[in-house]
Amino acid sequence: EGEVRLLVPATATMQEVREALAERLGRPDVAAKGRLVRRAGGALTSFRDSERLGTRRSLLLVGVDDLRAVPGAAPGLTRERALQLQGDLSEGFSAEDFQRR
C-alpha cells in the first residue's frame, strides 16, 4: 500500500507518528528505519523526531520498501496509550485558541 491513514493528536511528535504507524502495521522496522520528510526547495529534508505534527495532515515516509501490514496485525490500544490520548485531548481542548473557536 502507498497510503496509510492514522489518527494521532496534533501534539504528537514525529517520532510518535512513526511509532503509531509501526504499531498499526505490526512492523517495528517502520519506526526504526523510516524517516518522515518534507520537500524543501526540490530536496527532501527530515523532520526532527521532537517536532510536533501540528496542522499537517499528510506526511511522506522514506526508508522502508512498502507500507504493507503484517497479516493478522490488529491495531491495539493499551491503557497507557489511552491515558496519553486522554491527556492530549484534554490539553488540546483546554487550549485558549481552541476555546475561542
DSSP 3-state of 76:
coil
Q: How crowded is the C-beta side of 83, counted as CA atoms within 13 Å?
A: 3
pTM above 0.75, yes or no: no
* 25 touches 67 (CB < 8 A): yes
Residue 101 has pLDDT above 80, yes or no: no
pLDDT at position 33: 96
pLDDT at position 74: 61
Mean pLDDT of the chain: 89
Number of domains in the chain: 1
* 39 touches 58 (CB < 8 A): no
Question: What residue numbers bound the domain in which 65 lies?
Answer: 14-74
Nearest to 9 by CA among 43, 53, 49: 53
Q: Is residue 65 part of a domain?
A: yes
Q: Is residue 35 part of a domain?
A: yes
Q: Is residue 96 part of a domain?
A: no
Q: What is the pLDDT of residues 24-78, one digit of tens each?
A: 899 999 999 999 999 988 999 999 999 999 999 999 999 999 998 888 766 667 7
Nearest to 38 by CA among 65, 17, 23: 17
